[in-house]
Amino acid sequence: SLTEIYRKISSRWSPYIETVYGVLSENGHSLAINEFIQKPACLSYPTKELSEMRSLTLEDFILKMRTLSEKEALIFLLQLCEALENISELSLVHGDVSPQNILLTDVLPLNSQKQQPTSSTGKSITELCRNVAVKLIDFDIAREEKGSHHMVTTVAGTNPYAAPEILDYQTPTDRVDIYSLGCVFAFMLTGKSPKQMSREEFQSSLSKSVRKIFPLFCPLPQCLFRNFFTYCQVFGVENHWKYVFFP
């Protein structure tokens, strides 16, 4: 049940997952008590609409402000890997990893007291990633992993980012979140899901190094996380991503 899923999530803390403080249940109704994730105070917002928003989704940032550099996108991607690894360890599938369900917020305050990290090439980690982190939210369609015999009766998810298994009523596993994560990675770089571009447009918009990453969205999650940490070397942040992300 959704109540049990939120209780599971409340037992685990990650800087990249919306914190669930607890679940209240009465007369068959349940209410999850979640943290409020405020938009980054360090950013300058170019429009009144953005200035008045209390929270900032990744979708709004990309479509109304700018796309990310490859290094910025990779750093946010690693943060989302950390989030999904925690969810997978709870035997849960998020089921709707999309730009609308990722919020930007200020990094934890303790990080700001540390010396600014630099990459192996001697260049500073970007201003955005030094001050801003991502958080995965909205577990309303999350579900427990099921065996292959389980019948799926409801399609759920955000179409441009949903895995084929979701749209074809197949049994969801944590691989569907990995597939969606790949679509989100492409969106951070191009402003579109790969489903919204031709193959030629998609490949021409990415560097050769980044194109090598996308086949990694097919393996099991533990392979994915390990391979992404290896691929940090391509961008010169191999020894610094934890330093940047964790207090």
Q: List active site positions.
A: 96
The C-alpha angle with vertex 146 and arms to 228 and 150, in degrees rounded to 5, equals: 135
The residue type of 96 is D
Instruction: Give yes or no for a contact between 120 and 148, defined as CB atoms under 8 angstroms apart.
Output: no
d(CA 217, CA 60): 24
What tokens appear for 12 in the block? 């685990």
- Residue 69 CA to chain centroid, in angstroms? 16
Q: How far is CA 43 from CA 18, 132, 148, in A?
A: 21, 9, 46
Contact between residue 101 and residue 220 where contact means Cβ atoms under 8 Å apart:
no
Element housing 133 (H / E): strand 132-136
Instruction: Please report where in the chains the tokens 């349940």 appear, as a residue.
Output: 30
